[in-house]
């Protein structure tokens, strides 16, 4: 008889907080089992299909046998060229596609691998709180210490760099920032990026700007790239994703762009862990980036309408919130006296609506909840009606 194996997880796994959306999904399933038609405003996954011209491009590329072999680790030259060309058209800054662009299997992959390239055990990494959970977890996986930079409403949800203790700044290797921001919907202006560059240069910190939402913007607002600021290319890189821009979350394609030494460090990790993105997907991504961007404009029009609809329901229900200029998230103060967990439990149990508790994005997210606008207008309308019913029309 074989001896039963004692399976023991590594400390880095044991120490992980429970995955936010898994816990929410379990609760959602419980409520659904009671026969409730649950509306999920939790996860930020676009509900609309990838535009037809991009799908068509994948179909043609999938037929080519040369696309069936291992791709290049760092991306096809034509994909990196298309990414650099898009970047230059969009932000007016040029990069060398051969040395300053690397393909990613979704921007999450690149973000998660950054600390492995640059962080040694005990090094600090500056991480926004609330923020996309991957920054802190990837830091811990590399043995680094995440130092949380609170994003406060009074600072426009920008980190206060002057509040970072000198000793922490001295020990920090990386800084993650993300604008337009998930989960707060905040945007960053030029002056903020200038301050980030100065700070990074002073303390020798690599800046990782997560730019996943630069194309989801409204009311004529055009988000900036961090790399538009003089000196940025000396201190950092930017992560771009096709996921939200072209409804391609399932395709897993993005790129990092910026300082060649930093791009090369990330590339080194990738070479040893993954084998690049499927070439047919890279070809479709070239189509997405090079084609007319009308489909992006149409998507933004849809999200803007949804945003206005939900903001009007929430205002009726007594909430005070400004319409975000970008992202498809609403970041809302809890009703007086309630915790984020209580608010999300209340909406799920009483309205059959899933919202994300703000503390799931970090301790500084307590006091808020997040609504994602990635459901069709009729469902959003229904969710809004239910929210107003639970809280009463004010």
Ligand X SMILES: Cc1ncc(COP(=O)(O)O)c(C=O)c1O
Give the residue with the Cβ less far from ligand X, 81 or 107: 107
Smallest separation (angstroms) from ligand X to the CB of 166? 29
Structure tokens that stand for 125 in this block:
């990494």
Cβ partners under 8 Å of residue 221, min gap 6: 187, 325, 326
Smallest separation (angstroms) from ligand X to the CB of 223? 13
The DSSP result for 79-98, as a single string, is HHHHHHHHHHHHHS----HH
Give the residue with the Cβ less far from ligand X, 107 or 344: 107
Cβ partners under 8 Å of residue 276, min gap 6: 70, 71, 72, 73, 74, 75, 103, 105, 270
Smallest separation (angstroms) from ligand X to the CB of 388? 28
- Structure-token match 């200029």, residue found: 325
Smallest separation (angstroms) from ligand X to the CB of 285? 11
- Structure-token match 């990330």, residue found: 266
Smallest separation (angstroms) from ligand X to the CB of 102? 14
Give the residue with the Cβ less far from ligand X, 243 or 282: 243
Which residue in 70, 89, 86 sits closest to 78, CA to CA? 86
Give the residue with the Cβ less far from ligand X, 181 or 279: 181
Give the residue with the Cβ less far from ligand X, 72 or 249: 249
Smallest separation (angstroms) from ligand X to the CB of 10? 24
Classified as helix, coil or strand, 119 is coil
Which residue in 73, 101, 114, 112 sits closest to 275, CA to CA? 73
Smallest separation (angstroms) from ligand X to the CB of 108? 3
CB 213 within 8 A of CB 326: yes
Smallest separation (angstroms) from ligand X to the CB of 386? 25
Please give the DSSP secondary-structure letter assigned to residue 49: P
Phi and psi at 210, nearest 5°, equal: -85, 110
Cα–Cα distance list, 149 to 42, 125, 153, 175, 296 (Å): 24, 10, 13, 10, 32
Smallest separation (angstroms) from ligand X to the CB of 110? 8
Structure tokens that stand for 230 in this block:
């003089």
Q: What angle do CA 190, 193, 195 make, to 5 degrees?
A: 110
Interface contacts to ligand X, rule CB under 6 A? 44, 106-108, 132, 178, 182, 210, 212, 241, 243, 249, 254
Smallest separation (angstroms) from ligand X to the CB of 44? 5
State yes or no: cis peptide before 373, omega within 30 of 0: no
Which residue in 102, 99, 95, 100 sits closest to 72, CA to CA? 102
Distance CA 181, CA 159 (A): 12
Give the residue with the Cβ less far from ligand X, 23 or 36: 23
Give the residue with the Cβ less far from ligand X, 346 or 371: 371
Give the residue with the Cβ less far from ligand X, 42 or 106: 106
Give the residue with the Cβ less far from ligand X, 138 or 200: 138
Cα–Cα distance list, 236 to 230, 233, 260, 360 (Å): 12, 6, 9, 28
Cα–Cα distance list, 217 to 22, 68, 98, 129, 239 (Å): 29, 36, 30, 22, 17
Give the residue with the Cβ less far from ligand X, 132 or 193: 132
């Amino acid at each position: 008889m074989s001896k039963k194996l004692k399976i023991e997880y590594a400390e880095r796994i044991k120490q992980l907080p429970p995955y936010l959306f898994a816990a929410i999904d379990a609760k959602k399933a419980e409520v659904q089992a009671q026969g409730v038609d649950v509306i999920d405003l939790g996860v930020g996954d676009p509900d609309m299909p990838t535009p037809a011209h991009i799908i068509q491009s994948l179909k043609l590329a999938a037929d080519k046998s040369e696309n069936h072999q291992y791709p290049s680790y760092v991306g096809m030259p034509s994909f990196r060229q298309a990414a650099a060309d898009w970047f230059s058209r969009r932000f007016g800054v040029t990069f060398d596609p051969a040395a300053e662009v690397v393909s990613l299997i979704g921007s999450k992959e690149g973000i998660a691998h950054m600390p492995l390239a640059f962080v040694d055990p005990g090094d600090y990494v500056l991480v926004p709180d609330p923020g996309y959970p991957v920054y802190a977890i990837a830091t811990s996986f590399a043995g680094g210490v995440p130092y949380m930079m609170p994003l406060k409403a009074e600072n426009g949800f920008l980190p206060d760099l002057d509040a970072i203790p000198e000793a922490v700044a001295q020990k920090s290797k990386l800084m993650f920032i993300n604008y337009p921001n998930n989960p707060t919907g905040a945007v960053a202006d030029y002056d903020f990026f200038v301050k980030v560059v100065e700070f990074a240069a002073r303390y020798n910190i690599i800046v990782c700007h997560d730019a996943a939402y630069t194309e989801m913007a409204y009311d004529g607002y055009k988000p900036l790239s961090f790399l538009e600021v003089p000196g940025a290319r000396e201190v950092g890189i930017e992560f771009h994703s096709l996921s939200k821009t072209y409804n391609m979350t399932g395709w897993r394609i993005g790129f990092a762009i910026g300082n060649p030494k930093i791009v090369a460090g990330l590339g080194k990790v990738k070479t040893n862990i993954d084998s690049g993105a499927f070439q047919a997907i890279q070809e479709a991504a070239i189509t997405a980036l090079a084609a007319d961007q009308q489909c992006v404009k149409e998507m933004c029009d849809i999200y803007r309408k949804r945003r206005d609809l939900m903001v009007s329901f929430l205002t009726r229900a007594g909430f005070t919130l400004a319409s975000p200029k970008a992202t498809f998230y609403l970041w809302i103060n809890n009703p007086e006296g309630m915790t984020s967990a209580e608010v999300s439990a209340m909406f799920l149990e009483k309205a059959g609506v899933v919202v994300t508790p703000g503390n799931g994005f970090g301790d500084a997210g307590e006091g808020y909840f997040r609504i994602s606008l990635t459901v069709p207008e009729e469902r959003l309308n229904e969710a809004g009606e239910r929210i107003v019913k639970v809280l009463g029309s004010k």
